[in-house]
Amino acid sequence: MRAVISAGAVFFAAVSLAQAGTMATGEQISAAISGNTVQGSMIASGAYTEFYGADGAIRGKGYSGKWRVNGDTMCFQYGQDPEACWQVRLDGDQVTWVKGGKDDGAGAIVKGNPNNF
């Protein structure tokens, strides 16, 4: 009986990890992000809080940009910088930005625009 429980626990853990590692589709990204704010941190640039308008506008404290879903990635463009895209992993209100197969940042999705950006 103990071997059966242990095997079941291992199987459940493996399934949970596989689901946690599943990348979001473009439709899932839009549904989770559009019209909401994400507060988090990127490895390269540090902390951020941004509102992602349904019109494709990004608004943060003292800056703005554009966002769009391209296939199953979310793309960002700020000022004259070139557009950059990330895969997205969603887990409830948590988002992880994935670039080149590695986690590049993470954040929490907050409903609406509570910072009035």
6-19 per-position pLDDT tens digit: 333 333 333 333 34
Q: What is the mean pLDDT of residues 77-101?
A: 97
Structurally, at CATH architecture level, domain 23-110 sits in: Beta Barrel (2.40)
- Split at pLDDT 50, 70, 90, the class of 21 is low
Are 75 and 68 within 8 A, CB to CB?
A: yes
pLDDT for the residue 20: 52
pLDDT for the residue 24: 98
Cα–Cα distance for residue pair 73/32, rounded to 1 Å: 13
Query: Residue ranges per domain, the chain?
Result: 23-110
Half-sphere exposure for 21 (CA within 13 Å, toward CB): 8
pLDDT for the residue 5: 37
pLDDT digits over 28-87, tens only?
999 999 999 999 999 999 999 999 999 999 999 999 999 999 999 999 999 999 999 999
The reported pTM is 0.81
